[in-house]
Chain A
Amino acid sequence: MTPELIEQRRDVMRICADARAGELAAALDALSPLPDASDFRTPESGLVMLRGRMGGDGRAFNFGEATVTRAAVRIDTGEVGHAYQLGRDRAKARVAAILDALVQSGKANEVVAALAPASRRIAEERALVRRQTAATRVDFFTMTRGED
């Protein structure tokens, strides 16, 4: 697998993880007609232990788990798509796995385009949070104390 393909797959996986189930379903609709897909691994929920670092940058330690759902799907052109994402939505993970298979089948640009509304919504929401956060930044000023 080329580094470019890995990056494409990671980019799509990131959008799929951050998107809502309805947005992924809409993206899948936009990509139809779709190749037939069968479960390579039945969607399943489980845990991933989250690891942090002492002081933020030191030795690793385990600080708690998160629910994660995974799915793997084979499309009829042979590619096996995978999904691992936070949460317990098995249907959403399965759709994400189909999208990953499509990326591998050479349809990366089409998949990214189909996910564009979700990407836009996510980017807009984060920009709003950043602007609201920026408004709470403290601007210090020093009072003249009249000593000199």
Chain B
Amino acid sequence: MYVAVKGGERAIENAHRLLAAKRRGPTDTPEISVEQIDSQLALSVDRVMTEGSLYDRGLAALAIKQARGDLIEAIFLVRAFRTTLPRFGVSEPIDTAAMDAERRVSATFKDMPGGQVLGPTFDYTHRLLDFTLATNGEAPPSPAEADELVGGMPRVTDLLDAQSLIERETDDGAEAGDLTREPLDFPADRDLRLQALARGDEGFLLALGYSTQRGFGRTHAFTGEIRFGEIEVEFAPEELGFAVPLGRISLTECQMVTQFTGSAEQPPQFTRGYGVAFGQSERKAMSMAMVDRALRAKEFDEEAKSPAQDEEFVLTHSDNVAATGFVEHLKLPHYVDFQAELQLLRRLREEHAEREDDGMREAAE
């Protein structure tokens, strides 16, 4: 319990003034603009949108500026802003096969329709610091161009599907749950698990995904496909009676292909895990897909005894806004609580001392 404590108003006000000045930094360096954050710290913006669970680049960039680059604080700001807006409805389901892919790789198939397209990636860089960036010097070389690729890029899982070597996803038309409307209950269906994972903390999911690779709920995952690019979103407002193109968002999608399951009726086949994130957020999408698969343990009659397979453990601890709220509230005054603990401790020590005195007396007698 924490109690309201009066008397700190001026200190708080001055602390926030100091914070504002610290945020700005020395005034002899130019102030960073929201547009600069959006375009040059784009992957931070992507993470804040994904875990803030709100696609709006400008808002995410503003939140990063206001939070001095503290991404979890920025995510908190975005979540808080979201609550001020009315909801118009729910989009049509997005068809990721229609994505204008700017990157698409598979670690399982070398040759596939549409090919392996690297796009803007850190992969295969040497991770050596580039000091030319520190001098604001040279402009980067202009990107190479080649003839546009023709033909589509079918999802890799659709290719395997044709031979029923891989678990097929089916749409039974069930209405998707929404954890922003009703609190999460356990056991949670996969739709709600995916929604929670999509907004879950990247670091937490990364660690859990990694734990499954190291043997804690092993599924032996392969990256069937990662794709990133822009895709159109449609929404059918009631008053119009047809779907309106809302514009385009950028998305990362990851299909993990994992080890076999089968039954008396069904021959063994690959199983799947799915991840999706706003912007270019590959690590997040991959981790999400691995944890999605781990959480399907019961569905496949797998022994579930590792953290990544425990849906209550995973889903109640994956939200970094909830987690930071409970951890950071420990900073607020707990004076009364602590006084009570202190009194209890004093009494225990008195009792201990009395017992010792009694013991000494008995020994002496």
Binding site for B on A (CB under 8 A): 1, 6, 9-10, 13-14, 17-18, 44-68, 70, 82, 84-88, 126-138, 140
Contact = CB atoms under 8 A, between A and B. Distances in A.
A68 B147 CA distance: 35
Nearest to A51: B93
B91 A48 contact: yes
B261 to A, nearest CB: 15
Identify which of B54, B232, B253 gathers the most chain A CB atoms within 10 Å of its CB: B54
Nearest to A84: B244
Contacts of A135: 143-146
B76 interface: no
A137 B149 contact: yes
Interface in B166-191: 169-172, 174, 176-178, 180, 190-191
A86 B147 CA distance: 31
B164 to A, nearest CB: 15
Contacts of A59: 169-172, 174, 176, 190-191
Identify which of A18, A67, A88 gathers the most chain B CB atoms within 10 Å of its CB: A67
A48 B82 contact: no
A133 B111 CA distance: 17
Interface residues of B, number: 80
Interface of B: 49-50, 53-56, 58-59, 82, 85-97, 100-103, 110-111, 115-119, 143-149, 155, 157-158, 169-172, 174, 176-178, 180, 190-192, 194-195, 198-199, 232-233, 235, 237, 239-249, 253, 255, 272, 274, 276, 278
A47 B87 contact: yes
Contacts of A88: 56, 58-59
A142 to B, nearest CB: 10
Contact of B194 (A63, A132, A133): A63
Nearest to B278: A64
A50 B91 contact: yes
Contact of A65 (B55, B116, B170, B232): B55
Contacts of A45: 85
B246 A137 contact: no
Nearest to B289: A55
Contacts of B149: 130, 133-134, 137
